[in-house]
Copies of this chain bind each other. A is one copy, B any other.
Amino acid sequence: LAEKKVLIVYAHQSAGSFSAAAKEAAVEVLKSKDCSVEVSDLYAMKFKATATAEDITGEVKNSEHFRYAEETKLAWDEGRLSADITEEQRKLQEADLIIFQFPMYWFTVPAILKGWFDRVLTLGFAYTKEKRYSNGIFKVNKTKALLSFTTGSQETMFSPTGINGDMNVTLWPLQNGILHYCGFQVLAPQIFWAPEDATPEGRSAMLAAWSTRLQGLLDEKPLFYAPMDCFDCESFQLKPESVEKLVKEFGPTAGTHCGKPLLPNNQMKAGV
């Protein structure tokens, strides 16, 4: 088997953090499995988070009415994206697996990582109107992607009867709307529940479980999303016949729920 390439996009300010330890565990285990591992350490890189005209080298097409997606698409076509974006796109294109390691901030990724999504996943490079979801650009290389994150809240708070709501709902925009949208195979998220409230032994156990999981990570089955051909090509709504098939065979997903009760763990475990 050819050597597998892994990209870890890492977003924590401190080398002393639990997130850093989780990132280090991934580097160590994956290297021991003969993977080559690159890390984008966003804070250390002082990664630019905001989507601006400075992301384009040379003239923009319409500075009066600057449209980020269209302008960066054009710049990508012409090789005029800024060097930091181009470098991240190179890493992404070479990777077989991308792990996003971050502390959850306000029910989603920290701004610096949101900036990575906003700036690196350029129209044309990462998606087009024709190439998205199960026809997505990264489908071709079967690139896998995984969210690995810490929470501040306990797991009970993120349940269907918890005050934060079902974690599957919170994960939907990230996992369907970004990762699956670009055609990545989305592996089940690695969630470290409230490590700051855990004992040192509890934290060690969490890291040990992650290291164990990492051993077989590249062979894991991805989460299920309804394939593109289930959807009408104009409205992008499920075809009537697909609703029934989907609900019967796979169950609805957290977002495309068809008015049915949400399946437990739909965004958390493969094969549910």
Residues of A within 8 A of B (CB): 13-14, 16-17, 43, 47, 49-53, 64-69, 105-112, 114-115, 117-119, 121, 133, 152-154, 156-157, 159-166, 169-170, 172-174, 176-178, 181, 196, 226, 228, 231, 235-238, 243, 253-262, 264
Contacts and interface: CB of A to CB of B under 8 A. Distances in A.
A231 to B, nearest CB: 5
B50 A111 contact: yes
A241 to B, nearest CB: 12
Contact of A237 (B114, B162, B228, B264): B162
B174 A172 contact: no
Contacts of A50: 43, 47, 49, 110-112, 115
28 contacts: A13-B51, A13-B68, A14-B67, A17-B65, A50-B110, A50-B111, A51-B110, A106-B121, A106-B181, A107-B174, A108-B177, A133-B163, A156-B236, A157-B236, A160-B257, A161-B243, A161-B258, A162-B256, A163-B231, A163-B236, A164-B236, A165-B177, A165-B255, A166-B257, A170-B177, A257-B261, A257-B262, A262-B262
